Homo-oligomer: A and B are copies of this chain.
Amino acid sequence: MQIGMIGLGRMGANMVRRLLRDGHECVVYDINEAAVATLAREGAIAASSLEAFVDRLEKPRSAWLMLPAAFTGQMVGKLAALMEAGDIIIDGGNSNYRDAVDQAAKLQPKGLNYVDVGTSGGVWGLDRGYCLMIGGPEAAVKHLDPVFATLAPDTGEPASPTGSTAPRGYLHCGPSGAGHFVKMVHNGIEYGLMAAYAEGFNILKAANAGNVVRAADAETAPLDEPQYYKFDIDVAGVAEVWRHGSVIGSWLLDLTADALKTDPALAGFGGRVSDSGEGRWTLKAAIDTGVPAPVLASALFDRFSSRGESAFADKLLSAMRFAFGGHVEKPKDGQ
């Protein structure tokens, strides 16, 4: 079928490629003209303006946006002004699901359909397929089924007896917003999983603490029983062995093993970990609904800390310690 794509960055461009490969017609637009030209050479239909993009689409038009969340809102506005009742706007980016709830409510009077698609698979999706979590009106979602089927992994699983598409890697999760809600929680979990591995490998790395000489003073907790911390663990080897038959095998572990094999000290990274919003929104949803989420929270807060955001709090702790106990901060080289 025909589909329009706006936003030809890392994700958007590869999704177009996957769709083209499977015989779909893709109309593409981006403010970056080079990105448009590249995909045109690969078989997409280039649009040189938003108006041209909309004109080129057959009714009911399907326009898929793959933009940074900060720019999606205003693009939806522009697009809605050019589109007609029955048309479908799809937000496949990492937007807050609340935007989808709000946009759907705003566009409904015009007869426009708003479909939100949470998309997981990262840079690997082109070959591996994308896991799609979909929210929106039943009919619009049905209409887009061929597109979803192509983007999703060809998992070769038989259709579920209930007819669910979940075994094929895409799922209509509910009304507008439900797709991004489920994707949001997906990323919240992702943060938690990543942190669990990261903490574990950090502990393995420290298993030789008993071989390291440390100061013995009132400011430093001595290492209890150093005889139990004399292991020099090959963390890359451990990551690899855990991939085979262990309970904690996962795709993230596969990637971790790969990263550690290439660079066991991870010298290429500074440890300044970004977050792109979903982890935050997941926690806010947990807080709103009164659901305990200490693991997901800890995972998020560690990212904040990795960027130095604990600084004032930590200074305050040192200030208190000095105030009540006369404890003077140890210099950086000390513990």
Contacts and interface: CB of A to CB of B under 8 A. Distances in A.
Nearest to A105: B227
Contacts of A224: 96, 280, 288
A10 interface: yes
A200 B185 contact: yes
B312 A302 contact: no
Contact of A320 (B241, B252, B298): B252
A131 B244 contact: yes
B322 A269 contact: yes
A328 to B, nearest CB: 9
A165 B243 CA distance: 12
Contacts of A189: 196-197, 199-200, 248
Interface stretch (A25-33, A40-48, A56-64, A174-182): A174-182
A166 interface: yes
B251 A251 contact: no
Contact of A316 (B173, B228, B266, B280): B266
A159 B52 CA distance: 56
Residue from A96, A152, A248 having most chain B Cβ neighbours under 10 A: A248
A271 B193 contact: no
Interface in A295-335: 295-307, 309-327, 329-332, 335
Number of chain A interface residues as a range: 35 or more
A230 to B, nearest CB: 8
Contact of A199 (B169, B174, B207, B295): B295
Number of copies: 4
Contacts of A302: 292, 294-295, 305, 310, 313-314, 317
Interface stretch (A75-83, A84-92, A136-144, A255-263): A255-263
B204 A269 contact: no
A114 to B, nearest CB: 15
A241 B321 contact: no
Contact of A286 (B98, B203, B218, B332): B203
Residue from A241, A249, A318 having most chain B Cβ neighbours under 10 A: A241
Contact of A296 (B199, B307, B326): B199
A251 B252 contact: no
Across the A-B interface, give the 3 residue pairs with the lowest CB-CB distance, nearest first. A192-B196, A250-B250, A271-B314
